[in-house]
Chain A
Amino acid sequence: KAGVTQTPRYLIKTRGQQVTLSCSPISGHRSVSWYQQTPGQGLQFLFEYFSETQRNKGNFPGRFSGRQFSNSRSEMNVSTLELGDSALYLCASRDRAIQEQYFGPGTRLTVT
Chain B
Amino acid sequence: AQSVTQLGSHVSVSEGALVLLRCNYSSSVPPYLFWYVQYPNQGLQLLLKYTSAATLVKGINGFEAEFKKSETSFHLTKPSAHMSDAAEYFCAVSDSGNTPLVFGKGTRLSVIA
Contact = CB atoms under 8 A, between A and B. Distances in A.
B43 A43 contact: no
A96 B43 contact: no
A48 interface: yes
Interface string B26-63: 00000010001000011111100101000000000000
A90 to B, nearest CB: 6
A103 B100 contact: no
Nearest to A104: B43
A67 B14 CA distance: 46
A106 B49 contact: no
Main secondary structure of the interface of A (DSSP, over half): strand
B44 A99 contact: no
Interface in A76-112: 90, 92, 94, 96, 99-106
Given A42-B105, A99-B32, 10 more contacts: A4-B43, A33-B100, A42-B106, A48-B100, A56-B99, A90-B44, A96-B98, A99-B94, A100-B46, A103-B36
Interface pairs A-B: 10 shortest CB-CB: A99-B97, A103-B43, A43-B103, A103-B44, A45-B100, A105-B43, A42-B105, A104-B43, A106-B43, A96-B98
16 contacts: A31-B98, A33-B101, A42-B103, A43-B103, A43-B106, A45-B100, A56-B99, A90-B43, A92-B101, A99-B51, A100-B46, A101-B46, A103-B43, A105-B43, A106-B42, A106-B43
